[in-house]
Each structure stands twice: as C-alpha cells, then as structure tokens.
Amino acid sequence: MKLAELQALFQSAILAGDETDAQLIEEILPKADESRETLLGVYVNAYSLRLTEYLDEDYPALRAYLGEKEFRALVKAYIAANPSKFRNARWFSNPMPEFMQESAKWRAKRRAIGIAQFERALTDAFDAADASAASLEALASFPPEEWPELAFSFHPSLHLLQVAKGTLDAYVAATAEDEETRKRLAQIRATACEGTEAAAVWRAEGDLSYRGLEDDERLALNEAIAGKSFGEICQLVAFQDESQPAVERLAQFLVNWFSEGLVAGVAKATCD
C-alpha cells in the first residue's frame, strides 16, 4: 500500500474512533501477546483524550456551568465536528462558541455560549501581541481643550464582548475557590436568561483583567476602538442618552481606560 493511501486510512480510523478497521488492521504486523486492535487503539484513544484535555483546559467555567454529563456530550460533539486544522493545538478550542451557536442542541443555551465566548476571550487575551500601556501622564500631557481631538489605540489583547445576561456572574461563581460563591452557580443556572451584558477582557502588565461595562461605556469604548476622536465619542453618547452629563462621565471612562492599562497610545486625530 502506498504511503499516502496508508496515511488516509490511518487518519480515517482515528477520526472515526475505530480501532477495528479491517483494511488497516491487515496492514499492521501481528504481535504475539497483544491484538492489533488494542495497539491501534493506543493512537485512536490518545486522539480523543488529547483533544478532550485541550477543551477541559480552555473551558473550565463552561464545564462547571453545564455539569460533567452535559459538558462531556458537548466535548464529544465538538471533537467529532471539528477535526483540528491547526499545527498549534492552542487554536483547536477557539471555534467553540460558534460551534454552540450553530448547533441546534446548544444554540438556545445563551448563557453557556456567553461563558464560552468569555473564556475564549481570556485565552486570546493571554497570549495576544505585546504592547506597552500608555500612562495617565501621556493623557495629561495634552491640555483639556485638545481632548476632543484625541484618538486612541488599544492594547492588542482587548476584547469587547456582548454576552448573555449573567455570564460574568456565572464565570465568577464557576471559577471561585470558596464553596459559598460556587453555590451561586446553581442559582444563576436556574435564573431565566434574558437580555445581554457587555464586558471587556484584556491583559495588563502580563495579568488577565476583565470587568462589565454599562451601555454608555461599551458604546464609547467601541467607538474609541474604531478610531473615533474623544469629541466625536462625546457627541455620539450625548445623542444616544441625553439624560447623562456625558462629557464628565466620558472623561472619567477615559481616565479609567488609561489607569487600567487598556490604552496603548494617544495622539491628536488626523483630519481625513
């Protein structure tokens, strides 16, 4: 049998989880004290064990939220539907949220999908490209009258998420070290999932950070990431919500973004 044919056959057996494929078994040299199926099974079993381990590592909160039985069913379905196309196993687990959204069985579990999105954002932020955070002094070096013209670049690890309501609470409960906080997971699970919430995930000085965002901050941060100047953001947020003293609140957002390490650069916006 040609090498290409043998490799195709071998790979099919592994993907199918089948250590009994007769055509492949016929190619394997018999061993006196062990069946060829058992020996082929070393490779077949290692495949699912290894991929399961990657998913367990990347989605611990999702596992806690769904419970062992349901998470195992999800992992099995994911592995069957997503044979890895990645040289680096790091990326194997990344499409999990999309897999859940596209699957009839999982798409209604909005909070579970939210947790998957959140955990993926954490993984992505962990090894995102490096950049130095801009200091508050960098912002303060511009006189207040120039602030409307300022535009910002953000740390490459920053991810904005719009996820099902209760996602962050569920994540905190699922990953808590103390029993009392973990008990809240059952309550959260029993609560109907209506509406959405926003969160930011990023890496500051090497450590992962996250927090929830109110609607106006989410909008402002979204626009800032898109390259809008502070003046343009103020106008937009004031238009969206006239009840807020927008400029003062937005100025506080801006200070927070700098002090929390979200901002990588600040400069006067260039005219189009």
Partner 1 sequence: MEPLPRLGYGLGLRPIYYEEILSTRPAVDWFEIISENYMIPGGRPLAMLERVRRDYPIVMHGVSMSLASTDPLDFDYLAELKALAERMEPAWISDHVAWTGVHGLNLHDLLPIPYTREALAHVVERIKRVQDFLKRRLVVENASTYIAFKGAEMTEWEFVAEMAERADCLLLLDVNNVFVASFNHGFDANVYIDAVPAGRVAQFHMAGHTNKGTHRIDTHDQPICEEVWKLYGRARRHCGDVSAMIERDDNFPPFAELLAELQRMRDIDASLSAQASLGEPPRSAA
192 phi and psi angles, rounded to 5 deg: -60, 145
User: Site for partner 1 (CB under 8 A): which residue of 18, 20, 27, 52?
Assistant: 27
Residue holding tokens 């196993």? 89
User: Site for partner 1 (CB under 8 A): which residue of 57, 67, 86, 102?
Assistant: 86
C-alpha angle 136-139-145 in degrees, rounded to nearest 5 = 145
Rule CB under 8 A: is residue 176 a binding residue for partner 1? no
Cα(111)–Cα(165) distance, rounded to whole angstroms?
7
Q: In the numeric block, which tokens belong to residue 211?
A: 């927090």
Which span (32-40, 55-63, 179-187, 193-201) binds partner 1, by CB under 8 A?
32-40
Q: Which amino acid is at 58?
A: D
The residues that bridge with 152 in the sheet, in sequence order, are 266
One-character DSSP codes across 140-160: HTS-GGGGGGEEEEE-TT-EE
Residue closest to 167 by CA, chosen among 122, 216, 224: 122
Shortest Cβ distance from residue 187 to partner 1 (Å)? 34
Which span (47-55, 161-169, 220-228, 248-256) binds partner 1, by CB under 8 A?
47-55
Shortest Cβ distance from residue 153 to partner 1 (Å)? 15
User: Site for partner 1 (CB under 8 A): which residue of 28, 73, 81, 186?
Assistant: 28
Nearer to partner 1, 154 or 253 (CB): 154
Which residues, numbered 219-248, are part of the site for partner 1 (CB under 8 A)? none
User: Site for partner 1 (CB under 8 A): which residue of 143, 144, 195, 206?
Assistant: 206
Alpha helices in 191-240 (DSSP H): 215-225, 230-240
Cα(237)–Cα(85) distance, rounded to whole angstroms?
42
Rule CB under 8 A: is residue 73 a binding residue for partner 1? no
Cα(46)–Cα(187) distance, rounded to whole angstroms?
37
Rule CB under 8 A: is residue 127 a binding residue for partner 1? yes
Shortest Cβ distance from residue 24 to partner 1 (Å)? 9
User: What residues make contact with partner 1 under the rule CB under 8 A?
Assistant: 1-4, 6-8, 10-11, 14-15, 26-29, 31-34, 36, 38-40, 42-43, 46-47, 50-51, 83-90, 92, 126-130, 156-157, 203, 206
